[in-house]
Amino acid sequence: MIEPLTIWEMLLRAGLAALLGLAIGWDREKKEKAAGLRTMALVSLGAAGVMLCAHEIATQFAAQEVSLDPLRVISGVVGGIGFLGAGAIIQSRGEIRGLTTAASIWAAAGIGIACGAGLFRLAFILCGVVLSILVVVTALKGRVLPERQEPDEPPTDA
């Protein structure tokens, strides 16, 4: 039988989701991206909230032998976040921008799902990997890969 969560467990799960979302949002904010601190924190918190709701609903119906599938909840969150991420992607002059922001939104939702499900170690691992990609890979990219030329600019000989 599924046990209901205490208010403290709910606060821990929701709070951790928001904090880890803030960590990802901090990087996006520093880079002046459209989805920053508040967006990432809210995405992560919202995903955790949906998981917490699913858990609480499952506890209410557990005695009635009603089958509730948490994977459906996750699927709904992922699909909904896809629409939010799509709004962050902009195509202009043959260039696509916002893919990393959209992927960050999706990752923040995954972290929120993990927090909402009580999978704290997984949430910390995911957040660490996401931040590594956003910070470390970005720093390495500038050193290893040549800068992209604007399409209208002629190539420079260096």
13 lies in a domain?
yes
Q: Which residues have CB under 8 Å from 126's CB, separation 6+?
A: 20, 107, 110, 111, 114
Residue 119 DSSP class: -
Is 157 among the domain residues?
no
CA distance 23 to 95: 28
Start-to-end CA distance of the chain, whole Å, equals 68
Residue 146 — pLDDT band, cuts 50, 70, 90? low
Mean predicted confidence (pLDDT) in 137-152? 70
The per-residue pLDDT for range 73-90, each reduced to its tens digit, is 888 888 888 888 788 787
Average pLDDT over residues 113-126: 93
Specify the amino acid at residue 10. M
Say if 84 falls within a structural domain: yes
The answer to whether residue 112 sits within a structural domain is: yes
Q: Is residue 150 part of a domain?
A: no
In a domain, 148, yes or no: no
Judge whether 155 lies within some domain: no
Per-residue pLDDT tens over the stretch 37-67: 898 999 999 999 988 988 888 887 776 766 6
Q: pTM for the full model?
A: 0.76
CA distance 20 to 142: 26
Task: Map tokens 């170690």 to a residue.
Answer: 121
Looking at the predicted structure, is the pLDDT value of residue 31 above 80? yes
Residue 12 has which token pair? 């821990």
What is the rounded distance in angstroms from the CA atom of residue 151 to the CA atom of residue 127? 35
Domain of residue 86: give its range.
Answer: 7-140
Could you tell me the two tokens for 75?
Answer: 């699927």
Domain count, the chain: 1
Nearest to 99 by CA among 110, 109, 88, 84: 88
Task: Identify which has the larger pLDDT, 136 or 158.
Answer: 136
Q: Which two tokens stand for residue 91?
A: 């195509």
Which positions ≥6 away from 51 have C-beta within 8 Å?
A: 13, 70, 73, 74, 77, 112, 113, 115, 116, 117
Would you say residue 147 lies in a domain?
no
